[in-house]
Amino acid sequence: MKRDVIVLGAGMVGVGCALHLQARGLSVALLDRRAPGLETSYGNAGIIQREAIAPYALPRGLGFLLSGMSNRRVDVRYHASGVARLLGSLWSYYRHSAPGAYQRISREYETLIAHSLETHERLMHDAHVEHLVAGRGYLMLYRSERELHEFFKIADERARMGVHHVKLNGAEVAQAEPALIGDFAGAVRWTDPIAISSPGDLVQAYARLFAQRHGTLHLGDAMTLRRTDAGHWQVDAADGVLEAPQVVVALGPWTTELTSRYGYTAPVIPKRGYHMHYTRLPGKPLHSTVIDAEYGFVVAPMKDGLRLTTGAELAMPDAPRTPTQIDAAEKIARAVFPLGERVEDEPWMGTRPCMPDMKPVFGAVPSVPGMWCAFGHGHQGFTLGPITGELLAAMVTGAQPRVDVRPFSPERFAR
């Protein structure tokens, strides 16, 4: 089965690439070992984060580092074995999180986030998925007056960059979300983001749109990728062998397992996260997604119940699960949010593929003709999949991308 391009990986990033390559007139095959959108793009908090114009920095304060070492924080946990393997990358992450470097990185990051809503909205319109929109905006909730006022300053800075918000005091929080229990200093309601009621369903709807537009979806193992004598790429799919002159590797945290076979290894920092759904308590609705800023977890009203998602666990993607983080988050969340019974027996787990410089990686794989990659979207890959796809498709077809793509080049990790 011959195509112009094979895209490996049908998460939000791979599907975004496949749709935009197709929109540029290429015949595209999309391959995954599972149905589309069943890994990290399935289990996230479902926010299309137009407000996230700065990526997640590593907090550099001594207090955070000391409390982090105890491994009892709710927002960040770690496996000692994982940290030992990631020491070099974490040191690089720490250095990139220094104020000067972080400001430069955030300016670059913002150029992508600025297009995240419009690129999603176009696809959402074409895919007829208005029913997956749970609501507009979300709440960033604070208990401490001091931290709330610090965050108000950040919100004001972002307002100058076109990101909209409303400030709420404690009484206004109680009015907006009467089911929340506790004395809150207040909140910022970001008003631009879109909250999705089932992130996996959105990826699947985009994949269906790709198929309706004559793209082909295949099951198969990307690790069977090989070169032909003619310099094309071949990969084994359940329904035959796919062949194309170009391949895009968009395997999320697994991307460099494949590219390293061709000499390209980039330092992915895996930040794992867990989720669990809870039944809704009668007469106590939660109207919008809420981030508990102090403890770093999210509660989102979703199709399958109220979804609690955790912060980061630094551990290798294949290391045993340690759902103590979700147990800790649940304990705190139960005192505040209207959580009923657990819906699933076991928590879901996925891995955010983060880079030490906090920016995604997309473009031509250095020194491997015909191989492209798109990965490393960290905390915002659900948001950034479509704009990444648009820019990568421009590069593959030799067109001028509308954003300066140099800050996101795979070259920065070439050895």
Ligand X SMILES: Cc1cc2nc3c(=O)[nH]c(=O)nc-3n(C[C@H](O)[C@H](O)[C@H](O)COP(=O)(O)OP(=O)(O)OC[C@H]3O[C@@H](n4cnc5c(N)ncnc54)[C@H](O)[C@@H]3O)c2cc1C
Tell me how many degrees the CA angle 19-410-353 measures, rounded to the nearest 5. 70
Token readout for 59 is: 């907090």
Q: Considering the complex, state which of residue 185 and residue 413 has its C-beta at the smaller distance from ligand X.
A: 413
For the residues of 28-71, what is the DSSP string, one character each? EEEEESSSTT-SHHHHS--EE-TT--S--PPP--HHHHHHHHTT
Q: Considering the complex, state which of residue 34 and residue 149 has its C-beta at the smaller distance from ligand X.
A: 34
Q: Considering the complex, state which of residue 45 and residue 163 has its C-beta at the smaller distance from ligand X.
A: 45
163 to 54, 113, 159, 250, 293: CA distances (angstroms):
12, 11, 5, 29, 19
* Rounded least distance, CB 218 to ligand X, Å: 9
* Rounded least distance, CB 139 to ligand X, Å: 14
Instruction: Indicate the burial class of 152 (C-beta count within 10 angstroms; 0-12, 13-18, 19 or more).
Output: middle
Q: Considering the complex, state which of residue 34 and residue 261 has its C-beta at the smaller distance from ligand X.
A: 34
Pairing of strands 269-280, 312-314: antiparallel
* Rounded least distance, CB 122 to ligand X, Å: 17
Q: Kindly report the number of other CB atoms within 10 A of residue 60's CB atom.
A: 13
* Rounded least distance, CB 171 to ligand X, Å: 28
Footprint of ligand X (CB under 6 A):
9-14, 32-34, 38-41, 44-47, 49, 221-223, 250-252, 254, 273, 275, 309, 350, 352-353, 375, 377-383
* Rounded least distance, CB 199 to ligand X, Å: 7
Collapsing DSSP to helix, strand or coil, 91 comes out as helix
Q: Considering the complex, state which of residue 185 and residue 351 has its C-beta at the smaller distance from ligand X.
A: 351
Q: Considering the complex, state which of residue 39 and residue 201 has its C-beta at the smaller distance from ligand X.
A: 39
Among 224, 33, 50, residue whose Cα is nearest residue 137: 50
* Rounded least distance, CB 45 to ligand X, Å: 3
